[in-house]
Amino acid sequence: RRLKRRPPVTLLDVFQQHARRRPHRPLLRFQDEVYTYDAVERRSNRAARVFSRRLGLRPGQTVAVFLPNEPAYVWTWLALAKLGCPMACLNYNVRGRALRHALAAAQAALMLASAGE
């Protein structure tokens, strides 16, 4: 039913609805840290502002994301969704020729990676 709605309901819509209704409920547990819906909402808003103002991202620009499985991946994805930027998910374990191929196929305007990469 949700897919038939016009406009369709997105995962971003569902997340934001939960963030409004249950801001203090846990969303993510990573190692010894717990992130609530509200905390992830605030971090994704902050990331969206940085991506827009400092990096100049505009709706429709594809962004390649090369991050490990950590909480920052979630708020990066949400931030890009808020900006209307498609996200090309790159396998963090891929290197060399396979990574170059994935980047070329993504035709991304920008690549986001962790500090160590």
Give the per-residue pLDDT at 3. 64
Domain boundaries, the chain: 11-113
Q: Which CATH class is domain 11-113?
A: alpha beta
Q: Which of 70, 57, 111, 117 is nearest to 88 (CA)?
A: 111
Do 44 and 85 contact (CB within 8 A), yes or no? no
Mean pLDDT, consecutive 10-residue stretches, the chain (117 aa), reads: 74 95 97 97 98 95 94 96 95 89 91 81
Q: Which of 7, 12, 30 is nearest to 78 (CA)?
A: 12
pTM of the full structure = 0.88
Find how far residue 17's CA is from the centre of its chain: 17
Give the per-residue pLDDT at 1. 66
